[in-house]
């Protein structure tokens, strides 16, 4: 078999080497909603415009909890893609430790990523033993409440400016036939919303003590009891929200059938695709209007280790394109996230992104759950909170007791 065919055979699983080292690079991600698809298309377009390569789109539906196991099993099973999205943080630590992922350290040093990417925690969470294993592409924060201005108008109450006003407006919303709080039934959404209650209502210090320090005593203490009370309010407000996917819940707010949704700022992509204007059609409350806090989570692309040099080179070219200033703006404006570069022109930022940027500059930033806690522990909390939301007979005290056990054994 000649070199070309050998290369082709060796590389068919992560990307085909075509003529003159142009590569068809398979890129997997879980961005399948309207806004997400519009955003990832910006990466694909830029990759094909700025290189000789082809972006082979490997969208896997089902959000992080369904798609991630598929991605991981392909890499560990010897059928790797060319590049894949994960949340930056601890999700990939086992893949990296197993030596299945390639470092980008040389490229990062050559392009000065340490001077470009902010906050530094993004690149820190890509770094293992001094090697950089991912390219961060955005900053997503979970700590947002998205409100339908029309739903409150039709309920005859003002749009809330904080969580307590939102809870107080629930009876009027129900009276007007609205679902007060929209939420999808998938555990990651309920566990994520719970983390938002901790950080936004309890505050950054409580959030760090529980998710960062894994302090079981604090997890079982009076401050967290207040958060479980808020979670009890939330589950009552969400009792009639029967959708599964996060963007279906967002759509309930967009169509004014629901008053609000606690969701990461990727929800903005859905409002944009629906032609809604921040501040006019919808209102956003970072930190639930209580603590000006945002978590600096988000997405990064990781690259399975490959033998083929052409594929490896195409991987580096993709990483470089993703950090390009113009590409960063085009992708993040569609994604509803904040660019990882501080040196880009965000004149097109809308009312909500401007609120996020202000907190990024002057507010309190906390690491994301994925940066602080193992995915296994997060999944256990997600499952507990999903059960709490779907089991009215489970008291807040019962849930907090089980929460203490999970936090106490979390890594
Ligand atoms: C998050 C991811 C976001 C968004 C969201 C819903 O984990 O960081 O980019 O896609 O999942 O799918």
Taken in order 126, 214, 287, 272, the sign of the CA dihedral is positive
Predicted local confidence at residue 6, as pLDDT:
43
Contacts 24+ apart (CB under 8 A), 222-230: 224/198, 224/400, 224/403, 225/396, 225/397, 225/400, 226/201, 226/202, 227/194, 227/197, 227/198, 227/201, 227/202, 228/396, 228/397, 228/399, 228/400, 228/403, 229/396, 230/163, 230/167, 230/197, 230/201
Residue 88: pLDDT band with limits 50, 70, 90: confident
For ligand 1, say whether the CB of 30 is within 6 Å of any of its atoms: yes
- The predicted-structure confidence for 301-314, as pLDDT tens digits, reads as follows 999 999 999 999 99
| pLDDT over 60 (residue 235) | yes
Ligand 1: nearest atom to the Cα of 299: 8
CA–centroid distance, 248 to ligand 1, in Å, is 14
Tell me the backbone φ, ψ of residue 56, rounded to 5 degrees.
-100, 110
Residue 7 pLDDT > 50, yes or no? Answer: no
CA of 4 to the centre of ligand 1 (A): 38
Under the banding of pLDDT at 50, 70 and 90, the label for residue 266 is very high
pLDDT band at 342 (very low <50, low <70, confident <90, very high): confident
Which residue out of 29, 88, 186, 264 has the highest number of ligand 1 atoms within 8 Å of its CB and is therefore the one to mutate?
264
By the 10 Å C-beta count (0-12 exposed, 13-18 middle, 19+ buried), 239 is classed as middle
Site to substitute for ligand 1 among 34, 40, 42, 64, most atoms within 8 A of C-beta: 64
How far does CA 57 lie from the centroid of its chain? 19
CA of residue 234 to ligand 1 center, whole Å: 22
* Residues 67, 71: Cα–Cα separation, whole Å: 6
Residue 325 C-alpha to ligand 1 middle, in angstroms?
22
Looking from the CA of residue 246, the nearest atom of ligand 1 is 6
Question: What pLDDT, on a 0 to 100 scale, did the predictor assign at position 190?
Answer: 98
Q: How far is the CA of 264 from the centre of ligand 1 (A)?
A: 8
Give residue 14's pLDDT: 56
**Is pLDDT at 101 greater than 80 in this prediction?**
yes
Q: Specify the pLDDT at position 74.
A: 97
Ligand 1 nearest atom to the CA of residue 32, by list position? 12
pLDDT for position 349: 85
pLDDT of residue 21: 83
Q: Which residues pair with 140 in a beta bridge?
A: 297
> How far, in whole angstroms, is CA 107 from its chain's centroid?
25
Note the pLDDT of residue 5: 41
365 - beta bridge partners?
294
Ligand 1 centroid–CA 393 distance in Å is 31
pLDDT band, residue 62 (cuts 50/70/90): confident
Higher pLDDT, 89 or 59: 59
Structure tokens that stand for 410 in this block: 């979390």
Q: Is the CB of 89 under 6 A from ligand 1?
A: no
179-200 pLDDT, tens per residue? 999 999 999 999 999 999 999 9
Residue 20 confidence class, pLDDT cut points 50, 70, 90: low
Mean of the per-residue pLDDT values of the chain: 94
C-alpha 378, offset from chain centre:
14
* pLDDT exceeds 50 at position 9: no
- The protein residue with its alpha carbon nearest to ligand 1, atom 1, reads 64
Give the residue ranges of DSSP H helices in 125-162: 149-155
Q: Determine whether the shortest distance from the Cβ of 331 to ligand 1 is under 6 A.
A: no
Q: Give the DSSP H/E element, type plus range, for residue 28.
A: strand 23-29
Phi first, then psi: give them for residue 338, nearest 5 degrees. -105, 140
With 0-12 CB in 10 A as exposed, 13-18 as middle and 19+ as buried, what is 186? Answer: buried
Q: Which domains, and CATH codes, for the chain?
A: 2-140+297-341 (3.40.190.10), 144-295+366-409 (3.40.190.10)
Query: pTM value?
Result: 0.91
> Averaged over 11-17, what is the pLDDT?
53
Distance 64 CA to ligand 1 centre (A): 7
CB contact at 8 A, 301 and 322 = yes
């Amino acid at each position: 078999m000649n070199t070309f065919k050998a290369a082709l055979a060796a590389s068919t699983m992560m990307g085909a080497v075509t003529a003159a080292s142009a590569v068809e690079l398979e890129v997997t991600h879980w961005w399948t909603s309207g806004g997400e698809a519009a955003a990832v298309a910006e990466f694909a377009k830029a990759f094909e415009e700025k290189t000789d390569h082809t972006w082979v789109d490997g969208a896997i539906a089902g959000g992080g909890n369904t798609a991630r196991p598929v991605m991981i099993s392909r890499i560990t099973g010897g059928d790797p893609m060319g590049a894949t999205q994960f949340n930056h943080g601890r999700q990939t630590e086992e893949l990296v430790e197993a030596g299945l992922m390639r470092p980008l350290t040389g490229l990062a040093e050559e392009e000065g990523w340490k001077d470009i990417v902010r906050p530094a925690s993004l690149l820190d969470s890509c770094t293992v033993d001094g090697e950089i294993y991912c390219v961060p592409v955005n900053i997503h924060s979970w700590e947002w409440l998205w409100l339908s201005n029309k739903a409150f108008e039709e309920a005859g109450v003002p749009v809330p400016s904080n969580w307590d006003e939102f809870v107080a407006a629930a009876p009027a919303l129900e009276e007007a036939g609205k679902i007060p709080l929209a939420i999808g039934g998938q555990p990651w959404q309920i566990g994520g919303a719970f983390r938002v209650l901790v950080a936004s209502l309890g505050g950054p210090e409580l959030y760090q003590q529980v998710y960062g320090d894994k302090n079981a005593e604090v997890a079982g203490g009076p401050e967290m009891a207040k958060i479980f009370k808020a979670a009890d309010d939330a589950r009552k407000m969400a009792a009639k929200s029967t959708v599964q996917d996060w963007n279906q819940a967002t759509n309930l707010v967009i169509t004014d059938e629901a008053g609000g949704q606690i969701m990461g700022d990727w929800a903005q992509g859905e409002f944009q695709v629906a032609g809604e204007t921040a501040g006019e059609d919808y209102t956003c409350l970072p930190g639930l209007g209580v603590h000006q806090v945002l978590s600096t989570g988000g997405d990064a692309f990781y690259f399975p280790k490959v033998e083929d040099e052409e594929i490896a080179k195409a991987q580096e070219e993709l990483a470089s394109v993703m950090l390009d200033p113009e590409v960063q703006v085009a992708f993040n404006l569609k994604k509803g996230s904040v660019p990882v570069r501080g040196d880009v022109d965000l004149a097109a930022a809308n009312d909500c992104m401007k609120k996020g940027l202000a907190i990024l500059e002057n507010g309190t930033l906390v690491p994301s759950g994925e940066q602080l806690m193992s995915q296994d522990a997060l999944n256990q909390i997600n499952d507990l909170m999903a059960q709490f939301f779907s089991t009215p007979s489970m008291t807040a005290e019962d849930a907090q007791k089980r929460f203490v056990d999970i936090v106490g054994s979390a890594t």
